Amino acid sequence: MPAITTNDLKNGITLELDNGLFTVVEFQHVKPGKGGAFVRTKIRNLRNGAVIDRTFNAGIRVEQAILDKNDMQFLYRDGDDYIFMDTGTYDQVTVAPSSLGDAANYLTENMTAIIAFHNDTIVSVEIPASVELTVAETEPGIQGDRVSGARKPATLETGLVLQVPLFINIGDKIKVDTRSGDYITRV
């Protein structure tokens, strides 16, 4: 692990601290009139996604974690596990649903994701900001029920259930925001 000083911190750098792997979300170098300088940071835990505030003295050494990011194509599900293929080497990797987190709700066959590894352990999965999914099941909209912003539940091809407008029918392709899980538009 390369050691860097807190003066070298940048947004997006991954650090290996005493209690896990963290990505720097935001940092600020502060030099008060009295006393020594320090670095105030917001860091995101890569295991559970929690964002915490942490302050470091300026110039202390921290361990930078090196992540291997690979473009992986989702092939299929094998029971509960997900099978991905490295697009560069064509090696197949089995991924547990717990490693994918919320990304599992949006994966369709042949979709490409960026998977980050640290010491051969999956740390994070990045998928596009929006995906197109097909509506597998929903109730028909009631004629005349056109209240502004009326919604109904719809089950998508991946099993995700979300609220959609009344005009959406079974078989429609819709665009979904993967960050919030909200309906965007019909495709």
pLDDT digits (tens, 9 = 90+) for 93-124: 888 888 888 888 898 889 999 998 888 888 88
d(CA 62, CA 8) in angstroms, rounded, equals 10
Domains of the chain from N-terminus onward = 3-64 (2.30.30.30), 68-126 (2.40.50.140), 130-186 (2.40.50.140)
pLDDT digits (tens, 9 = 90+) for 136-184: 999 887 666 566 667 889 999 989 999 998 888 899 999 999 888 899 9
pLDDT at 147 (0 to 100): 62
pLDDT digits (tens, 9 = 90+) for 2-33: 788 888 888 988 999 887 889 899 999 999 88
pLDDT digits (tens, 9 = 90+) for 29-85: 999 888 889 999 999 888 777 889 999 998 899 999 888 888 999 999 888 899 999
pLDDT at 119 (0 to 100): 85
pLDDT, mean of residues 128-135: 92
Burial of 163-181, coded b for 16+ CB within 10 Å and e otherwise, reads ebebebeeeeebebebeee
Q: Are 45 and 60 in contact (CB under 8 A)?
A: no
pLDDT at 97 (0 to 100): 85
